[in-house]
Amino acid sequence: MRPAPATRGPLSEAVLALVTAGPPGADGAGRRPGGDRWEDAVRDSDPWGEDHQLALHLCYELHDRGLPGVHPGWEWDPGLLALRRTLERPFLAAVRAATRPVPPLAETVDRLLTATGDSGPSAYLETEGERWQAREYLVHRSVYHLKEADPQLWLLPRIHGPAQAVLMTVTFDEYGAGRPENAHALLFARMMADLGLEPAYGHYLDAVPAPALAVVNLMTLFGLHRALRGAAVGQFAAIEISSPPGAARLAAALERLGAGPDGTLFYREHVEADAVHEQLVRRGVIDELAAAEPGLAEDIAFGLAAAGTVDDRFGAHVLDHWRAGRSSLRSPLPDGPR
């Protein structure tokens, strides 16, 4: 069993203290640590900061793989859900503020299709990155890729008709298209092992900083709320539309840095798969859903733009540290700088 994560401040400490104190109350009323002090701590926190993002991540993990030593009944405990909602509101508000103004849906899609993506971590790794930096990048991305499309599966019962069918087709591929050994999460784990990293789920959580957690937290936030299903579609579409060029650069970078076949297969697979997925998601999900529910077009555009916002913040964090010769992780790997 993986160890419990280290807390990063009063918010993550409160969440862990609550869920590790035993099973949730049998009366269903829920328990809240600290009463008004919790609201004060959220009010004083940076929604992009380490403590806030880890606290959200811990709440969300109860809907995924769970937390070490935590009773599964906490997933739907009313008190914990109230705490989670208190954390979600300022994070969503911060994302909206950082993303404004959002162009109309067609313009947002066009901007994503024409974006070169040649100034982020993937481009850096392809041209001048070192092996320790490639290993750090995989650690950052492991928070998502070791569960791959799990956050988007919440979408399936929330959209219907052709859009649902096409979304199911795309996610089927993410899980190996009927061949478990080809599931993308497993391919990512094999890539980590090829580069001498520990592929166990959650192993590097303490090392992963807030900007990387925010990328995954946004996916889960959108996926868990039916009211945000349009944004969830946009966020998922942003991944599928923008990933092929970056995946090609990362495959080339890892090969240049000495990765073996297992160390490049994940990204080589995404070059091919996501080129097809881009068309499916754009025509079969976005266009179909916007036609069936025109009121969702604005939310889909927001989801597309918001995905870029959090990913740009993550990329800026990584590159700022690497260009300064510093580790981009909270806990550097053995072969990297402090």
Is residue 33 included in any domain, yes or no?
A: yes
**SS3 sequence of the chain:** CCCCCCCCCHHHHHHHHHHCCCCCCCCCCCCCCCCHHHHHHHHHCCCCCHHHHHHHHHHHHCCCCCCCCCCHHHHHCHHHHHHHHHHHHHHHHHHHHHHCCCCCHHHHHHHHHHCCCCCCHHHHHHHCCCHHHHHHHHHHHHHHHCCCCHHHHHHHHHCCCHHHHHHHHHHHHHCCCCCHHHCHHHHHHHHHHHCCCCCCCCCCHHHCCHHHHHHHHHHHHHHHCHHHHHHHHHHHHHHHHHHHHHHHHHHHHHHHCCCCHHHHHHHHHHHHHHHHHHHHHHHHHHHHHHHHCHHHHHHHHHHHHHHHHHHHHHHHHHHHHHHCCCCCCCCCCCCCCC
What is the per-residue pLDDT across 126-143, written as a single tens digit (0 to 9) for each? 999 999 999 999 999 999
**pLDDT band of 77, cuts 50, 70, 90:** very high
Is residue 3 included in any domain, yes or no?
A: no
Is 159 found in the same domain as 51?
no
Is 203 found in the same domain as 84?
no
* Count of structural domains within the chain: 2
Q: For residue 273, what pLDDT is reported?
A: 66
Is residue 222 included in any domain, yes or no?
A: yes
Residues of the chain above pLDDT 90, percent: 75
CATH number reported for the structural domain that contains residue 217 in this entry: 1.20.910.10
pTM score: 0.94
Is 213 found in the same domain as 88?
no
**pLDDT band of 117, cuts 50, 70, 90:** low
**pLDDT band of 173, cuts 50, 70, 90:** confident
Is residue 4 included in any domain, yes or no?
A: no
> Quick check: 232 pLDDT over 60?
yes
Mean pLDDT (whole number) for 63-71:
93
- Which one of 97, 124, 145 terminates a domain? 97
Is 56 found in the same domain as 178?
no
Is 267 found in the same domain as 211?
yes
Is residue 337 included in any domain, yes or no?
A: no
> Quick check: 309 pLDDT over 70?
yes
Residues of the chain above pLDDT 70, percent: 94
Q: For residue 116, what pLDDT is reported?
A: 61
Is 92 found in the same domain as 142?
no
**pLDDT band of 66, cuts 50, 70, 90:** very high
Is 178 found in the same domain as 56?
no
Is 258 found in the same domain as 158?
yes
- Which one of 97, 129, 149 terminates a domain? 97
Is 90 found in the same domain as 122?
no
Is 144 found in the same domain as 91?
no
Is 162 found in the same domain as 306?
yes
By residue range, what is the domain housing residue 77?
10-97
What is the per-residue pLDDT across 184-222, written as a single tens digit (0 to 9) for each? 999 999 999 999 999 999 999 999 999 999 999 999 999
Is residue 204 included in any domain, yes or no?
A: yes
Is 81 found in the same domain as 126?
no
What is the per-residue pLDDT across 11-39, written as a single tens digit (0 to 9) for each? 999 999 999 988 997 544 445 555 556 77
Q: For residue 191, what pLDDT is reported?
A: 97
Is residue 265 included in any domain, yes or no?
A: yes
Mean pLDDT (whole number) for 285-292:
93
Is residue 49 included in any domain, yes or no?
A: yes
**pLDDT band of 241, cuts 50, 70, 90:** confident
- Which one of 62, 97, 132 terminates a domain? 97
